[in-house]
Amino acid sequence: MSRKAPFISRKYALGDWGNAKYEDNFFFDEETKEWSNDTDKAMILLSEMLGEMFVWLSEGNMQSKGYKECVARKSIAMVWCMRPDLLQNKSLRQISKMGGVSFTPASLSKHVAFFTEKFGRFHNGTKSDEAKENYKASAKLSHKRRKQSQDKKGK
pTM: 0.59
Q: Give the residue among 75, 81, 72 at the shortest CA–CA distance from 120.
A: 81
CA distances (Å), origin 79, targets 7, 40, 45, 65, 89: 21, 26, 19, 24, 11
Could you tell me the pLDDT band of residue 118, with boundaries at 50, 70 and 90? confident
Tally the residues of the chain. Answer: 155
Within 10 angstroms of residue 138's Cβ, the number of other Cβ atoms is 10
pLDDT digits (tens, 9 = 90+) for 61-110: 999 999 999 999 999 999 998 888 899 988 899 999 998 888 999 999 99
Cβ 74 vs Cβ 115: under 8 Å: yes
Q: Give the residue among 68, 66, 67, 81 at the shortest CA–CA distance from 119.
A: 81
Cβ 104 vs Cβ 70: under 8 Å: no
Could you tell me the pLDDT band of residue 39, with boundaries at 50, 70 and 90? confident
pLDDT at 23 over 90: no
